Amino acid sequence: QVQLVESGGGLVQAGGSLRLSCRASGRTFSSYAMGWFRQAPGKEREFVAAISWSGGMTYYADSVKGRFTISRDNAKNTVYLEMNRLKPEDTAVYYCAVDRTRPDTIVTIVHYEYDYFGRGTQVTVSS
């Protein structure tokens, strides 16, 4: 089993930036694709970004493309989400997730295709 712990959330004004981190347990982190999802109150969980296990492939939701950057440091078992030019509509609980099955050439945006999720970190963007 893989355990994921997110950190870095908080309150920020619109136009500001935050950097989320997600640290994974286990020695095979570098073999797993990783993703970020978010869920706002009253809404369904939505895909934000994904990165292949080598970091060579990334994919973003249209709503965050050009503003958010996903990256990973396999030596630290950590995946990051750099969020810039934040908007009030980015307010949500952000979750990282691990996908243990896809090869390095593929990432998925479908939440039920990920094996484990962390507990999440709250991001609040004030207008």
Q: How far apart are the C-alpha atoms of 80 and 97, rounded to whole Å?
A: 12
Q: Region 111-121: what's the mean pLDDT?
A: 94
* DSSP per-residue letters across 83-103: E-S--GGG-EEEEEEEESSS-
* Residue-wise pLDDT tens digits, 43-67: 999 999 999 999 999 999 999 999 9
Residue type, 21: S
Q: Tokens 């309150």 appear where?
A: 11
* Residue-wise pLDDT tens digits, 8-31: 999 999 999 999 999 999 778 888
